[in-house]
């Protein structure tokens, strides 16, 4: 199942710099691992914002929920999820 996910991140300004750096580094490691596994299919930055548009390929909505909740920056995110279906006029059949 494919899902379009928008993530807007708002890390508190008073978070200790070392904790912020640790969280951001851990988030990057997790994102890279999910991309290598083929779960996080696309990751696009939204210009001028601490936000991204992503496409996930997972087995179920519950699996996506668990992945999102496992992200180190999740407590500081606003997340919007949209399920996707193949369009009959699309040229490409893959994700």
Tell me whether residue 91 is in a domain: no
Output the six-digit token pair for 66. 């668990």
Structure confidence by residue, pLDDT tens digits, 5-55:
999 999 999 999 999 999 999 999 999 999 999 999 999 999 999 999 999
Identify the residue whose tokens are 């995110």.
77
Q: Are 41 and 57 in contact (CB under 8 A)?
A: yes
* Domain that includes residue 53, residue range: 2-84
Tell me whether residue 94 is in a domain: no
Identify the residue whose tokens are 């696009």.
44
Residue 56: other Cβ atoms inside 10 A? 22
The structural domain count of the chain equals 1
CATH code assigned at 70: 3.30.70.1060
**pTM of this prediction exceeds 0.85:** yes
Tell me whether residue 90 is in a domain: no
Alpha-carbon distance values, 47 to 25, 37, 44, 68, 80 (Å): 20, 26, 9, 22, 18
Sign of CA dihedral 76, 25, 52, 67: negative
């Amino acid at each position: 199942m494919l899902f379009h996910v928008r993530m807007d991140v708002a890390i508190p300004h008073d978070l200790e710099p070392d904790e912020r750096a640790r969280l951001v580094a851990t988030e990057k490691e997790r994102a890279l691992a999910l991309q290598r596994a083929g779960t996080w299919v696309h990751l696009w930055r939204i210009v001028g914002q601490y936000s991204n548009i992503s496409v996930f390929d997972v087995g179920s909505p519950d699996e996506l929920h668990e992945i999102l909740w496992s992200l180190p920056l999740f407590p500081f995110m606003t997340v919007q999820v949209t399920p996707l279906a193949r369009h009959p006029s699309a040229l490409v059949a893959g994700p």
